[in-house]
Amino acid sequence: MNSHNYSYPLDLSWTTKEMETVIAMFRAVEDAYEVAIDRDKILDCYRAFKQVVPSKAEEKQLGREFEKNSGYVLYRVVKAAQESTDKRIKMVGQKND
């Protein structure tokens, strides 16, 4: 479903499984902007992501790189999922172009 012309920010020292986990988080962010996604899926992806990227500084760096490449904001999606009681999250009109 996602056919984007940008790359995900990844650390080449991560294992394949860790890269898959981080990519799943970025795909969840894309889905939140493009089609809507279950709130619980975002939170599950974020919990797994934090196992790979426990440092807030590294999370912010990856989020900034992803935003620069895609226009999608990791922080906004996670915050929306954490604060919302809605079952699905859809980021409307908030893509940074």
Give me the CATH number covering residue 49. Answer: 1.10.220.80
Residue 3 lies in a domain: no
Domain around 56: 16-87
Tally of structural domains, the chain: 1
Give this prediction's pTM. Answer: 0.90
Residue 44 within a domain:
yes
| pLDDT confidence of residue 94 | 55
- Specify the DSSP class assigned to residue 54: -
Q: Is residue 11 part of a domain?
A: no
Pairwise CA distance, residues 42 & 25, whole Å = 7
CA separation for the pair 66, 33 (Å, rounded): 13
Tokens of 85: 């009681």
List the chain pLDDT tens, one digit each, 97 residues: 445 789 999 999 999 999 999 999 999 999 999 999 999 999 999 999 999 999 999 999 999 999 999 999 999 999 999 999 999 999 986 555 4
Question: Does residue 7 sit within a domain?
Answer: no
CA dist list (Å): 7 to 12, 15, 23, 73, 88: 13, 17, 10, 15, 26
